Each structure stands twice: as C-alpha cells, then as structure tokens.
Amino acid sequence: MRECRRVSPAIDVGALNAEMQGLGAEARVRRAAELLPEARILSSSFGAQAAVSLHLVTRALPRIPVVLIDTGYLFAETYGFVDALAARLDLNLRIYRPAASPAWLEARHGKLWEHGAAGIERYNQIHKVEPMQRALADLGVGTWFAGLRRQQSRTRAAIEAVQRIGPDRYKVHPIFDWTDRNVYDYLKRHGLPYHPLWERGYVSIGDWHTTRSLRDAGDASEATRFFGLQRECGLHLIGAGS
C-alpha cells in the first residue's frame, strides 16, 4: 500500500544546501527529515562502502525503507553482503527487480551489455532505472536518501547535499562531501565492513558482467564499470533535470 505523503511548503534548495554545508552528516539526515516531504527511502546498491550510509541513515530513521535494485546479475558476494548487513542493521529492505526475469530478458534482447554503449544504456534502463522508478511510485516517495559522494567520480563531482527531482520530491546526499578517509574512519569507528570484494581490488561494484577490479581496469577507477564506456547506470539521474 502506498504511504500517504504530506505536501510540503516550498523549499528553497539553495538556502538549504548552504545550511547543510555547516552540518555533519547525521545532522543533515535529521534536518532533511524535518523539512522535506514524506515518505522517505534510502537506496543502496550494497557496494564497496555501502555500510556507511546504511548505518548512518538508519540510526536516525530506524525503519526507513531501504531500496535495493536487484538486476539478477549481482555478484554472489553482494547477495551475501546484503543478507549480512540486513540482519546486523535490522534493515527494512525493499527489493525491486525488472518486470521479467534475467533469462527471459536475455531471450528477448540477448546480452545487451555486450552491444556497446547503446546496449548498456538499454540494459540499465530495463534492469535498473525502470525498477527504481517503480519503487519511487509504489512507495509514494517524497525524500530519497542516497550515499553518493563527490569524490567517487567526475560525474558526481558537483553534487550537492539536496537536489529537487520533482515537483514535491527531493534527493538527499548526506555524505556528499566526504573523502575516502572519512569513509574509512566511519567504518572503523563503528566496526563496519567494506564489501567482501573490496580486498580484491573492486572499488565500484555493480553487476558481475560489467564490473572490473582496479587492476583489471589498468588502475583507472573510471574504467571499472561498463568497460569504461560510461560511469553512471542512470539510476541516480532520475529526475536530475527536474
């Protein structure tokens, strides 16, 4: 059942971002929850450093739905990581998948990820973007928390703490300005793990067929996903132009 969402007054995103600059990550979560519309979700790919946002946001908002998009092609280690963190952090996990199974989609379209940039874009639309759009609609989302950071890639270098992605929908990045050192310190302080593949040189972890270790990518972090043809899957571009 879709949650009822209160209509929020007009939000001055520029002023809110200026305020967020002076707050710590935990305070940013609380301030966003005070000002921005319900219902709220946290999305997670359960990637390399996912435990930070999962721990930080759910401590402030304990029963917030945590949305995972399961493409059907995640690493076995990722599925194990999901189970481990869901149990440890008592996550309110909501899993969304493509409308058809991976086998059925391959029968229809072939292995889209093997067909260059256009194939990868279509694959991501079917396996990631559409399920996320469905999650936002099903859950009546007003505020979407995510763990994006400026230091992660060139495509994320300009993100702010808060972004309007619809008439009454906002995206919040509580750790947008954190460095890798900040992430390490937080994980160590709270005894939280990196993804199991981190120790094998995987710095950005998605589907097994389009993710490479840093060594296999020639030490170029931008080339560890999608064969270097693109960096973003499109999931975090939903509503970006709104």
What CATH number has the domain bearing residue 74? 3.40.50.620
Residue 6 counted as domain residue: no
Which listed residue (32, 48, 136, 233) is catalytic? 233
Residue 207: count of CB within 10 angstroms of its CB: 20
191-204: per-residue pLDDT in tens?
A: 999 999 999 999 88
pLDDT at 43 over 60: yes
Strands 92-96 and 169-172, sheet pairing: unpaired
pLDDT at position 225: 80
pLDDT at position 5: 45
pLDDT at 153 over 80: no
71-91: per-residue pLDDT in tens?
A: 999 999 999 999 999 999 999
Tell me the backbone φ, ψ of residue 107, rounded to 5 degrees: -65, -35
Q: Where are the alpha helices (DSSP H) in 36-140?
A: 51-60, 76-89, 102-109, 116-124, 130-138
pTM of the full predicted structure? 0.89
Residue 197 counted as domain residue: yes
Q: Which residue has the higher pLDDT, 20 or 153?
A: 20
Residue 54 counted as domain residue: yes
Q: Supply angle C-alpha 136, 139, 141, rounded to 5.
A: 55
Instruction: Find the helix packing angle between 25-35 and 13-21, rounded to 10°.
Output: 150
User: Cα separation of 93 and 43, whole Å?
Assistant: 10
Respond yes or no: is residue 233 known to be catalytic. yes
Say what percent of the chain tops pLDDT 90. 76
The range of the structural domain enclosing residue 89 comes to: 13-237
pLDDT at position 234: 61
Q: 212 near 224, Cβ under 8 Å?
A: yes
pLDDT-based confidence at 228, cuts 50/70/90? Answer: confident
Residue 1 counted as domain residue: no
